A and B are shown apart, each in its own frame.
Chain A
Amino acid sequence: MTAGILLQIAQTLFAILLAPLLLGWVNQCRAWLQGRGAPPITQPYRVIRKLFHKDAVIAHHASPLFRFAPYMIFSCMALAAGIVPMIANDLPFSPAADAIALVGVFALARVFLALAAMDIGTSFPALLMVFFTASLISQSTELPAIVESLAHREFAIYPSLAFAAVAFWMISIAENARIPVDNPTTHLELTMIHEAMILEYSARHLALIEWAVALKLFTYSALGIALFLPWGIAPAGDWGALPLAVLALFAKMAGGGFLLAFMEAISAKLRLFRVPEYLGTAFLLAVLGMLIHFLLEV
């Protein structure tokens, strides 16, 4: 049990500390693909450090919620990072956290961000549907059980999982405010979706939000890996398998990050009223995945 708790703490810290690295990697790939010199992979760390050293500017009429929200958002993301099996499976948090709770944690962060900025629109129903497809195969909504059953049964091609994987990719793009749904580097306030919500934040608050954004991307990547490419993850309590698990995670994330940057480099941002169509497609794919599971795999 102690070992489990240690591993749990280690994994959460691991995610918090390494999340900006993934963002830095994606930014680096993006720059290369656009044919320009890339910032160092550690740039997100420098940005966060710089922001922590600045004095916060807060509007006079801002409510306590406004100051409070960045801490909530960061905590939610840290909690989510603790729940998703990244390097080891079956951690102590696992019994408390199934896929539905995870979606709830993401939703909580979004609610706080939205409350602080009065945002609208979300894509959570489709995300739940993806989990359900995977859950149906493994007969559980608990993430460790899904991962366990997918990673350690003999290799078989699940058509339903392919649909779910595509749907998950599309939702992750939308949720992480990436192209073609949102543009993380825009400077035009009228085209911002995510950026508009954090426009008023500065200094440590902004640092926490930026860090949480990196952590969210990291957690989503880990989640995608856990659901669709779980091979290599360490079984519960097996310290010996950890180095290999970490290496496998690094390799998969590097590949995923490059793919994300590549997709962003070749696409432009959708017309805003096409975004519901985009999310609708993701939802449809997720439902199709579920139906195909019932038709072909039960």
Chain B
Amino acid sequence: MQINTQDWNLKTIAPHIWRGQMEVGQLLALAHAVKDEGGQLQALWGSDDRHLNAGYSIHVAFHAAAGLAWVSVALASEAPAYPDLAHIFPQADRMQRATFDLLGIKAEDAVDERKWLRHGAWPADTYPLRKDFSAAPVRELDAYPFIQVEGDGVHEIPVGPIHAGTIEPGHFRFSIIGDRVLRLEQRLGYTHKGSEKRFEGMDLNTGARLAGRISGDAHSAYAWAYCSAVETATGSAVPPRAAWLRGLFLEIERIANHLGDLGYLGNDVALSFGFMQFWRLKEDWLRLTARLFGHRYLFDCIVPGGVSVDLSDAAPLLAEADRLEAEVRSLKAIYDEQAVLQDRFVNTGTCKPEIAARLGLTGLPGRASGQAWDIRVQFPQAPYDKLDVNMATHRKGDVFARSEVRFAEVYETLRLIREIIRQMPTGAIRADLTATDDVREGLGWVESWRGPVIVAVRIGANSRLDRVHAHDPSWQNWPLLEIGIIGNIVPDFPLINKSFNLSYSGQDL
């Protein structure tokens, strides 16, 4: 049975995206209804609405069978609280804790009430996303109560946040018995930059630049999600050619990241040959991208109202796509025949479909664990509604499955790039946004190479950004990494971690 938009008073604001306001009491009922029809909680965030003659709000984005429902619940301005959703959707746990750290909005009766994003850089009783926040930064010790695993022979290994390689910071606490991992607990938030606070008061065009930098490896996805949120909010239309170019940019970004990850997977099992070859291909791809569009990672190519660069000559891109496909196919044959590599990949870091469904695994790792969701397939917006994207899935849920899905998506994405170039209409690439002088809201939902990215935007009466929330799929997927490592050995952790390749910056905000 599908959620009835009438029952919940939801109205469509964009293709496959609904908006609704409800009472606190209805929120749990909606969550149960979504759960019953096999949907998931995608994002949860709060906002301070006191300057709009209200209290606070809690916002939840549910992804149901027919689309994304973005519902808000108005909360009191004194001691704002809403019922805990983590007992229905476990992935809500960290989002609820982060919402409390940033806004002081509390999930009542939540099991885990520890801090999440606050590392002692601001006092415990102040909340940086409140409009009246003015506390000076502090330097408290980050006394975080990790869960202790006790018993004979249980040994704890703390790793990070500073690592031996040049990677983002995160703390991983392994409890092991013998060689096997009994439990892994993550502590993230080391790259918290206050991005959401930074958005406040920005003009709409500058906001697009910041949105794209939330997690730079998914720049196009974030920039697109932000722009589509702003366009929904202002009621602006995008020229058809711009929508197709956005699709092209997103797929180019997907190829670059998948190539890099496939190389890293080889490198993590010390097959430097694979690393060097995939990174050679990635470098060629990035240079071509820079030559065609002026930036290796397409930064600032997607702008509110359209795109900033056009594709003048598609021939080099088509030629490179053909060459790339042939090279990736021959490299896949080498990976497939490398016995030791296969031995390392298969049955390592397994997330079974059942647990993936229960904990809300999403995006690429989700598809490798039987969670067959891809916005481009089920909820297509232009240009994907004309493209018939084939979804790549796997059921094993191990490192091997995630690498198989990456290979399959590289082939499919190369096909999409050819298809986009073939079908792309001519015309303008950018239109002006409609000017507004009241409070407007919008939401963008884009399938990045990592998974679904959500950007929700509220524009104030002065046409400047009032509240922006950017949601990375890593929020849901980090906890599954804790599940995937159980029973594996600690030296396999980097490989498993890389096969997920989650964003630190995107979830630390």
Contacts and interface: CB of A to CB of B under 8 A. Distances in A.
A199 B163 CA distance: 11
A187 B167 CA distance: 10
Contacts of B270: 179-180, 183, 186, 267-269
A265 interface: yes
Interface string B468-509: 000000000000000000000111111100000000000000
Nearest to B345: A268
B340 A190 contact: no
Given A269-B344, A271-B492, A272-B489, A189 B273 contact: no
Given A35-B276, A35-B277, A191 B268 contact: yes
A49 interface: no
A41 interface: no
Interface of B: 159, 163-166, 179, 266, 268-273, 276-277, 280, 338, 340-341, 343-344, 489-495
Nearest to A33: B273
B164 A268 contact: no
A30 B492 CA distance: 24
A189 B163 CA distance: 7
Given A35-B280, A190-B159, A190-B490, A273 B340 contact: no
A102 B343 CA distance: 36
Contacts of B280: 35-36
Interface string A149-189: 00000000000000000000000000000011001011111
B340 A267 contact: yes
Nearest to A192: B164
Contact of B276 (A34, A179, A264): A34
Interface of A: 30, 33-36, 179-180, 183, 185-192, 199, 264-274
B261 to A, nearest CB: 15
Q: Which 9 A-B pairs have the closest CB atoms?
A: A187-B165, A269-B270, A183-B270, A268-B271, A189-B164, A188-B494, A268-B269, A268-B340, A34-B276
B492 A272 contact: yes
B344 A271 contact: yes
B276 A273 contact: no
B272 A180 contact: no
Contact of A30 (B179, B272, B489, B495): B272
B272 A185 contact: yes
Contacts of A264: 272
12 contacts: A35-B277, A179-B270, A183-B270, A185-B272, A187-B164, A190-B491, A265-B272, A267-B270, A268-B269, A268-B341, A272-B179, A273-B489
B276 A268 contact: no
B493 to A, nearest CB: 5
B469 to A, nearest CB: 33
Given A35-B277, A189-B163, A189-B165, 13 more contacts: A30-B272, A34-B273, A35-B276, A35-B280, A36-B276, A179-B270, A187-B166, A199-B164, A264-B272, A267-B270, A269-B271, A271-B489, A272-B492
Contacts of A36: 276, 280
Contacts of A179: 270
A186 B272 CA distance: 10
Contacts of B495: 191
A34 B276 CA distance: 7
B491 A272 contact: yes
